[in-house]
Structure 1
Amino acid sequence: MKKTLVSLAAASLIVTSAMAADKGIDIVTTGQAVVYYETGSDNGKGDTSLFNQDNSVANVGVQLNLNADLKNNFTFGSQITYLGTAGLNRNLVGDTGVKQLGGSAPVTQEFGASKTTDDLALTKIFIAKKIGNTTVKIGRQELPKSLSPLAFTEGWNVFKNTFESILIVNSDIPNTTIVGAAVGASTKSAGNGLSEMSNLGVVTSTGKTQVAGSAYMLTVQNKSIPMTAITASYYNLSKVDGQAGSLVPNSDIGADAVWVDVKVAGKDLPMGLKVGLQAGSIMPESKLDTVKFANTTAFGAKIGLKPIDALTLCLAYTSVDGDKSKHNVAIVNTGGIKTPLYTQMVYNQDAISLDANTFMIKGVYNTGDYGKIIAQYAATSAGEKNRLNRNGEKTDYSEFDLIYKVKAGGIQYFAAWVNRSWSKVNSTIDKEDNQNKIRVWARYNF
């Protein structure tokens, strides 16, 4: 971490010209540099071998955080992100092969020109004020999954997504944290990624639709019961599916959602026992006779054990219902693509988030200085409204992930092999029912 004294005349380029003054402030700079690569193969008809350029994606990125204490309990934060390929799209991966976009698509060999600012994004900019035990934070910021389970920042890609939000956090009540938020838009963890702010999204059994209005959240987290943390969240989404071209254009359908998570853990429990329970429901309005939405209810449970110091085991189960006579809403992060479900793995979000029963087993072995080895397997039994059903038939899904993490020389390394299998062949594309992915990245935090 470096601390640099910068005059407000210069800091105003980052903050705003309205904040300019003769006094100086301390700008604390932190950040990270990342190299990210993924390749894949499947058993379909096409040329889909591992490390083939057309089946591979890569990114090189640098992220700089600039934070300041503005006095009188005001703080400021900003984050500038460069996300490009550093030329890897000309040899290692395909011409436009990126995992995440920063400002625009990379320069291709055919169209060899772009602006030097095209790969830059302002991914954070906020002002925060603390008043007693209450903090108010306004602007572009991250939202943690632990306090916002249906609109949260995801960390699986090159860089994290952020939200345009007004966030209020209060801790006046003993052992209790109360969080309120109004969320209007977000960057994306996939697709166009950090290149644009866009509406939150709701995933349905017929595809994804936008939340054209705001999302309002209230979360209460209480730790009064020994060894137990209870978190309950309520959301109100306005103007769901209300934009032109959607399933129900201009219908302004709303939706309410609730999510409860209970975690039990403590040093006095045998073998490092940890227990988790989660349950929730998304309840869309059904104003129109022609289009009916069903309430979607989800449940999950997990048990963790630590039989020896180096080994951690976990067994989890989740169930998300479906209604074959109505449209269904999936249990998915409205600001990304992942789920808050205990059985979330590297690639299985589409399989587990709607009309699905999923079992997962996971083991983590910590070798100490040589890093962690993670092996996890999940099997999903799909219903008629499952998002991965192929050719109009129920399609069960399984996934095995083998992951290695280690930190050496101040750099965090990650390597994963993912095997995905479907019970039905995809006859509409290339008749594949098995897929392999290899993902590696290196991340240096400074």
Structure 2
Amino acid sequence: MKKIVGMSLLAAVLLGSNASAIDNVKVNGDAKLYYHTDNQDSGDLFNQSSSAADTALRLGISGDLLKNVAFGITGYAISTLGLENSMVASAWSSAHTVSNPGGSADVSDEAWLGELWIATTFGKTTFKAGRMLLDSPLSFSETWSIAPNSYEAFVLLNQDIPDTTVVLVYAGHSNGVNSVGYTNPIVANNTSGNGLDGVLADGAKFGTHGAQGADVAGIINNSYKPLTAQAWYWNAEKAADAYWLQGDLACEWVKGLKMGAQYAYISPKGVFEGVHDSEGLALMLGYNGIENLKVSAAYSDIDKNSVFKIANLATNNTVSAQSKLYTEAFWNRGYVGSADAQSWKMSAEYDAGIAELGASYTNVNNAIFDTLATPRIGVDMQEIALTVKKSFGSLDTTLVYISTDADDQNNGSQSNALQVYLTLNF
């Protein structure tokens, strides 16, 4: 395929447009403050050495350039506001770099365009090109953190087939910390900066996604209304072929009962020729038949010889990339998709009126992190996460407690963490 359209060309298209011809302009954004503290590694809660914080600003503008031609621009900026030299020792986002090595640990401020795209629609077909967020099972934007990763891509969506959406994507670049597809599975193209999340590359810089770009094809069908079925194919010429099948069914006989199944398969190739395939299966059962209450239970099992994790192939797949498996933990990402991991997750959400309450328990047995190491050592992990969410007008607040008991953390002892998420929407 042809090289992705340069961002300078898209900027020229937008800047060269007659401002008076731009219609339906919408401006939105948010300002965030995230804080984390834990008592791992002999630290104490709220101590500077065991705490991290970050602020982020997102500003988005979208509108219509012409009839059936739309555009979108979203800018991100992150800053610790100097907290790393007073209240905390780390930043939240991995897009930061240490700007004063050898001296005080000043952490850089960063700003970048996370989205810059144009899109056109003809009938039931939409074509979109530029820099954007993507959501597919094995290459996606991780939106759980303070700032997401994004892609430079071509996307085609078609809905001519009744109750069916066809998705075709060519993702040429990504600013995830570790785009898979280089000399071996544990060498990153985009390196990590100073932060907790491991999502964004150092400075949020964009690098080639999957060595020569990745092709993604998906089909989502809802012909039988209780069932949403989807099938995805992911291909990077010098990295891997991957497949994802998923079905989610709303039971017609028991109101509120939901069931789901996922299957994933990653077959390495190119520079990874000879590396063992990765394979995983997940099942889910949920119930929301009681007013304001949602509960679910899920199980997943990953093949013991897997090398790539059943997780995002656009961020830090070898360590802590988020997984789309039903069993994914709230905070301790990177375990459930690992080789030989058998995982259980139970969760509940309750809207108490005064606040939204959430609880989850994740148990992972024998997750193998370094699949190239000899001998291969299994890791067990248990996580309990409790959340309280409350909105005050345009201000969203979340308070989180996390208990972690993992063989590879805190010398194998249980630890506690507290987090605060503040988001001001505008």
- Scaled to the shorter chain, the TM-score interval is 0.7 to 0.9
Q: Please say if 1:333 is aligned against 2:328.
A: no
Alpha carbons of 1:138 and 1:14: their partners in 2 closer, same or farther (altered >3 Å)? closer
Alpha carbons of 1:104 and 1:406: their partners in 2 closer, same or farther (altered >3 Å)? same
Letter in 2 for 1:335: A
Show the counterpart of 2:346: 361
Deviation of 1:88 (Å): 2.2
Counterparts of 1:342 and 1:113, CA distance in 2: 38
C-alpha offsets along residues 116-172 of structure 1, whole Å, 9 cap, x if unaligned? xx521111101111111110110110112xxx1000111111022211111000000
Show the counterpart of 1:158: 146
Aligned with residue 113 of structure 2, among 113, 118, 122: 122
Letter in 2 for 1:334: L
User: Is the Cα contact below 8 Å between 2:17 and 2:65 reproduced in 1?
Assistant: no
User: Is the Cα contact below 8 Å between 1:84 and 1:102 reproduced in 2?
Assistant: no
Counterparts of 2:12 and 2:26, CA distance in 1: 14
Show the counterpart of 2:131: 140
Aligned with residue 64 of structure 1, among 53, 59, 69: 59
Note the 1:209-288 alignment, pairs <5 A: 211-240=210-239, 255-265=240-250, 268-285=252-269
Show the counterpart of 2:207: 198
Aligned with residue 298 of structure 2, among 302, 313, 316: 316
Give the match's secondary structure for 2:335: helix
User: Is the Cα contact below 8 Å between 1:351 and 1:388 reproduced in 2?
Assistant: no
Give the match's secondary structure for 1:349: coil
Note the 1:375-390 alignment, pairs <5 A: 375-382=359-366
Letter in 2 for 1:28: K
Give the match's secondary structure for 2:91: coil
Q: Identify the range of structure 1 (58-67 vs 431-440) with the bigger mean alpha-carbon deviation.
A: 431-440
Deviation of 1:365 (Å): 1.3
Counterparts of 1:39 and 1:388, CA distance in 2: 32
Give the match's secondary structure for 1:127: strand
User: Is the Cα contact below 8 Å between 1:82 and 1:102 reproduced in 2?
Assistant: no
C-alpha offsets along residues 389-425 of structure 1, whole Å, 9 cap, x if unaligned? 9985322221111111121122111121111112x46
Deviation of 1:87 (Å): 2.8
Counterparts of 2:50 and 2:372, CA distance in 1: 21
Aligned with residue 22 of structure 2, among 21, 25, 35: 25
Deviation of 1:363 (Å): 1.2
Which sections of structure 1, spanning at least 5 residues, go unmatched?
1-11, 201-210, 241-254
Alpha carbons of 1:18 and 1:362: their partners in 2 closer, same or farther (altered >3 Å)? closer
Alpha carbons of 1:106 and 1:62: their partners in 2 closer, same or farther (altered >3 Å)? farther
Q: Percent identity?
A: 26
Counterparts of 2:26 and 2:166, CA distance in 1: 29
Aligned with residue 401 of structure 1, among 385, 396, 414: 385
Counterparts of 1:351 and 1:434, CA distance in 2: 16
Counterparts of 1:72 and 1:331, CA distance in 2: 41
Show the counterpart of 1:91: 86
Counterparts of 2:370 and 2:271, CA distance in 1: 24
Alpha carbons of 1:308 and 1:387: their partners in 2 closer, same or farther (altered >3 Å)? farther
Deviation of 1:432 (Å): 4.1
Q: Identify the range of structure 1 (185-194 vs 49-58) with the bigger mean alpha-carbon deviation.
A: 185-194
Counterparts of 1:272 and 1:48, CA distance in 2: 44
Counterparts of 1:310 and 1:322, CA distance in 2: 39
Q: Please say if 1:440 is aligned against 2:425.
A: no
Give the match's secondary structure for 2:411: coil
Note the 1:77-116 alignment, pairs <5 A: 77-94=72-89, 97-102=90-95, 104-105=97-98, 110=103
Alpha carbons of 1:347 and 1:113: their partners in 2 closer, same or farther (altered >3 Å)? closer
Bigger Rg, which one: 1
Give the match's secondary structure for 2:22: strand
TM-score computed with the length of structure 2 as normaliser: 0.83
Counterparts of 2:91 and 2:327, CA distance in 1: 27
Deviation of 1:332 (Å): 1.3
C-alpha offsets along residues 227-254 of structure 1, whole Å, 9 cap, x if unaligned? 00101001111222xxxxxxxxxxxxxx
Q: Please say if 1:176 is aligned against 2:156.
A: no
Letter in 2 for 1:192: A
User: Is the Cα contact below 8 Å between 2:336 and 2:367 reproduced in 1?
Assistant: no
Deviation of 1:105 (Å): 4.3
Show the counterpart of 2:285: 303
TM-score computed with the length of structure 1 as normaliser: 0.80
Give the match's secondary structure for 2:361: strand
Deviation of 1:339 (Å): 0.6
User: Is the Cα contact below 8 Å between 1:136 and 1:169 reproduced in 2?
Assistant: yes
Counterparts of 1:22 and 1:341, CA distance in 2: 44
Counterparts of 1:113 and 1:130, CA distance in 2: 46
Which sections of structure 2, spanning at least 5 residues, go unmatched?
1-8, 177-197, 316-320
Q: Please say if 1:345 is aligned against 2:329.
A: yes
Show the counterpart of 2:180: none
CA RMSD of aligned residues (A): 2.9
